[in-house]
Amino acid sequence: MVVKKQLAVMGSALALASAALPAMAGNTGLAFVHGTGKQTDAATDYWTHEMINSVRQGLPNQNLMIVINCDFDQYMWTAGAAGCLADQLHPFIVNNNITDLVVETHSNGGNILRWVMSNPTQDSRYPAIINAIRWVNALAPSSLGTPLADATISGNAFESAVGWLLGYKSDAVRQQQTSWMASYNASWLYGTAGRPALPKPFYHVVGTDVDSSLFDGDSYCGGYHLNVGLEVTQAWLNSCSDGFLDCSSQAGAGLRWFQDKERTAEAEPLSHNQSRRQCFGLDVILRNDI
């Protein structure tokens, strides 16, 4: 018991000491963190191999890459969400001596990463993960939630008012309601306006529009049907949105990297589904960032 406690204290002291140290000579790694949903093969089903294989070309050693597969239908703080992320990311960092980790997150994946970085004492593995991170590229993060989450939960809430009775499948959506994210941003999460900075840079990439014209080939990148749905859901959102999130939500935490049209090929917008796919040169932008 005493030994265990001493080890814990040592761990704590180590974490404290190393937090401010520069990255020692080690390896550069790359991690992809998906958004809401339970993924078992996110490389195929969420990101696509074309996207991943293009981005990883920026790595000195292309093998030092991990695609996270977790159940992000759960609340961000659960063992199945942030805990699962640590289950996969921590051994990847330790076993490969990663000291310079670039993390690409999409949508709610940004919230899960922000949870880990804002709550480093929840799990003894979190400080090591934070120390290894160079920066997070948060692609269309739902940092301030989305009115669409409110709308979808409202439909279900009438049937069963008790959230958890609906099952955890809806928990991530519930958590991304605007007033829920406002509450968590005010006390548990960092990086939003008026709150302390995150321990490592969290750069957001903002999708500003949805193009779903049948006659425009650009609508087909990422899947035409996906974009048709998103164009309609824009009605719930502000004039600047990617079809699922207002631009203000995507830009609500961390540091500005770019808005889609500033960097994409032919200044094409990135819809919410396109910001995780090989669309309009996004993969090359991410590759060159490593």
Positions 174 through 233 that interact with other proteins (CB under 8 A): 174, 177-180, 182-183, 186-188, 190, 193-197, 199-201, 203, 225-233
Contact 264, 283 (CB under 8 A): no
Cβ closest to other proteins, residue 68 vs residue 130: 130
Q: How far is the CB of 137 from other proteins (least distance, A)?
A: 9
Paired with 30 in beta bridges are: 65, 102
CB of 115 to other proteins, least distance (A): 10
Using rule CB under 8 A, residue 94 touches other proteins: no
- Residue 257 in 3-state DSSP? strand
Does 266 bind other proteins (CB under 8 A)? Our answer is no
* Contact between 48 and other proteins per CB under 8 A: no
Shortest reach from residue 197's CB to other proteins, in Å: 4
Residue 1 Cβ vs other proteins, minimum distance, rounded to whole Å: 10
101 forms part of the interface with other proteins (CB under 8 A): no
Of 201 and 281, which has the nearer Cβ to other proteins? Answer: 201
- Is residue 25 a contact residue for other proteins (CB under 8 A)? no
- Minimum gap (Å) between residue 19 Cβ and other proteins: 5
Q: From CA 58, how far away is CA 286, in angstroms rounded?
A: 8
Contacts (CB under 8 A) with other proteins, residues 245-264: 255, 257
User: Which of 268, 121, 285 shows the shortest CA–CA distance to 207?
Assistant: 268
- When asked if residue 284 is in the footprint of other proteins (CB under 8 A), the reply is no
Cβ 87 vs Cβ 121: under 8 Å:
no
- Tell me the C-alpha distance between 139 and 130, whole Å: 19
Supply the minimum distance, in Å, between the C-beta of residue 133 and other proteins. Answer: 10
Task: Note whether 88 binds other proteins by CB under 8 A.
Answer: no
User: Is residue 120 within 8 Å of 126, Cβ to Cβ?
Assistant: yes
Q: What's the CA gap between 46 and 38, in Å, rounded?
A: 10
Report the site for other proteins in 52-71 (rule: CB under 8 A). Answer: none
Between residues 113 and 226, which has the closer beta carbon with respect to other proteins? 226
Nearer to other proteins, 127 or 141 (CB): 127
| Closest to other proteins by CB, 266 or 289 | 289
122 binds other proteins (CB under 8 A): yes
Q: How far is the CB of 62 from other proteins (least distance, A)?
A: 21
CA distances from 40 to 21, 37, 68 (A): 35, 10, 9
Question: Which of 37, 100, 21, 35 has the alpha carbon at shortest distance from 64?
Answer: 100
Q: How far is the CB of 29 from other proteins (least distance, A)?
A: 15
CA torsion through residues 29, 112, 223, 241, sign: negative
Token pair of 190, please?
Answer: 């960092």
Counting every residue written for the chain, the total comes to 290
Amino acid at 189: L
d(CA 68, CA 252): 24
Pairing of strands 98-106, 255-259: unpaired
Is residue 127 part of the contact set for other proteins (CB under 8 A)?
A: yes
Q: Which residues of 9-28 are buried (b: 16+ CB within 10 A; e: fewer)?
A: eeeeeebeeeeeeeeeeebb
Minimum CB distance to other proteins smaller for 51 or for 266? 51
| CB nearer to other proteins: pick between 287 and 289 | 289
